Amino acid sequence: MQLTCGVRGLIGGCALLALVACGGGDPPAATTQPATVAPPTSVPSPTAAATAAIRAATVPAAPPTGVSTAPATRASSPTSPPRATATRGTATVAARGGARTLTGHTDRLYAVAFSPDGKTLASVGFDKTLRLWEVATGGELRTLTGHADRTTAVAFSPDGTLLATTSFDMTVKLWDVASGREVRTLNGHSNWVFGLAFSPDGKTLASTGFDTTILLWDVASGARTGQLTGHGGTIFSVAFSPDGRSLASGSLDNTAKIWDLATGTARLTLVGHATRVFSVAFSPDGATLATGSFDGTAKLWSVATGQESLTLTSHPDSVTAVAFSPDGRFLAGAGFDKIAIVWEIASGRAVGTLSGHTDRVMFVAFSPDGRSLGRICSCGRVGALEEG
């Protein structure tokens, strides 16, 4: 699949962009909605234009069951958009001169994660499966099943040997990457589980969701080691600081919190978004926290003081995900406006706009080497972009 589109000025020297397109749609309805706070003055929208190529994806009629292997499937020639009922997910890996479309999910995708070495992509979605893909070839390595309801988040352990997934079945599962075997199921949440993160040393797993709690787990034994409470609504996302001493969370209550894991208390509550905070991410040096909100902004905060340092407003609609580049120079944000934007943090300037998707973009992630960018969106045609 040849591409002729370009994204000028996006992360200089970057030759590969991995774009993951999926069935998205609205996140699950939450139970409470707190009062709003007016956002401050923001950074201007980007002026640089970006072009996009849209490709239709062909999806198999049904996924494999259990643990299986399957060959890569290439994208077909462009066709008319699918019907509204065809909410099948596809993953597109675009490189200079061409792209591969990874097909297999039979319902909308919701999250992706790169392995620590950047060679494998994991994806989860509403078809209740976890799928592993070889980034270099686009081949499907395994399909793992076991969750009884939709899968919502996925993360690799820092050493790349384990995967963790969350689900609407109120469980967290751990999987052995090499064998595809389910290692254990973690029970403890009383409602849908929506987000998770491994600690930097790989010994602790944090999970969260609609029960408004954050649970901490010992990865080796599966024992629950802690519980953090204090948010006034659904918690959508969690992230460990690079030193492993703090945990950040984003919630329906319009706030993000930074927790001291030694004491189990919230050290800082970050107030400034006008509505729910859907995504949180620490900078690689741990000094800055990024938040993405349904108010259409991404914000940067000092981890030491909780002071807001920058507001980025290139998205006219909800910001569903934020991610720092490995060198900490750039922040990527995905949104309901069907695009992902990359900002240069030093200037607050938008340096690239990734477009071409026909529905909401729900997730964005840099590969560990900084050369690839993964994202997922909702059903429709797949947009694949190449840096010019």
pLDDT at residue 356 in the model: 64
pLDDT at residue 10 in the model: 38
Residue 159 falls inside a structural domain: yes
Q: What's the total number of domains in the chain?
A: 1
Beta strands in 252-372 (DSSP E): 255-260, 265-271, 277-282, 288-293, 298-302, 308-312, 319-324, 330-335, 340-344, 349-354, 361-366
DSSP state of 34: P
* 125, 109 Cβ separation under 8 angstroms: yes
pLDDT at residue 357 in the model: 66
Phi-psi label, residue 324: left if phi above 0, alpha if psi -120 to 50, beta otherwise: beta
pLDDT at residue 315 in the model: 75
Pairing state between β 235-240 and 224-229:
unpaired
In 3D space, the residue among 360, 321, 353, 322 whose CA is nearest the CA of residue 338 turns out to be 360
Q: How confident is the model at residue 74 (pLDDT cuts 50, 70, 90)?
A: very low
Q: For the domain that residue 330 is a member of, what is the CATH number?
A: 2.130.10.10
pLDDT at residue 46 in the model: 32
Token duo for residue 376: 């997922």
The Cα–Cα gap between 101 and 53 comes to: 13
pLDDT at residue 341 in the model: 85
pLDDT at residue 363 in the model: 79
In this prediction, residues 197-204 reach a mean pLDDT of: 98
Token duo for residue 354: 């990734």
CA 280 to chain centre: 10
Residue 347 falls inside a structural domain: yes
Residue 95 falls inside a structural domain: yes
In this prediction, residues 113-122 reach a mean pLDDT of: 89
Residue 5 falls inside a structural domain: no
pLDDT, the chain, mean: 74
Residue 248 falls inside a structural domain: yes
The Cα–Cα gap between 127 and 157 comes to: 23
The model's pLDDT over 299-337, given as tens digits with 9 standing for 90+, comes to 999 999 999 999 998 777 789 889 998 889 999 888 888
Q: How confident is the model at residue 230 (pLDDT cuts 50, 70, 90)?
A: very high
* 21, 91 Cβ separation under 8 angstroms: yes
First to last CA, the chain: 16
* Burial annotation 187-216 (CB, 10 A radius, 16+ → b, else e): eebeebbbbbbbbeebebbbbbbbbbbbbb
pLDDT at residue 100 in the model: 56
Q: Rg (Cα) of the chain, in Å, rounded? A: 19
Q: How confident is the model at residue 283 (pLDDT cuts 50, 70, 90)?
A: very high
Residue 167 falls inside a structural domain: yes
Residue 32 falls inside a structural domain: no
The Cα–Cα gap between 206 and 203 comes to: 10
* 298, 331 Cβ separation under 8 angstroms: yes
A 10 A CB-CB count for 256 gives 30
* 325, 293 Cβ separation under 8 angstroms: no
Q: How confident is the model at residue 278 (pLDDT cuts 50, 70, 90)?
A: very high
Residue 348 falls inside a structural domain: yes
DSSP-based three-state secondary structure for 388 = coil
pLDDT at residue 59 in the model: 25
In DSSP notation, 303-317 reads TTT--EEEEE---SS
The residue range of the domain holding 62 is: 16-24+43-77+86-384
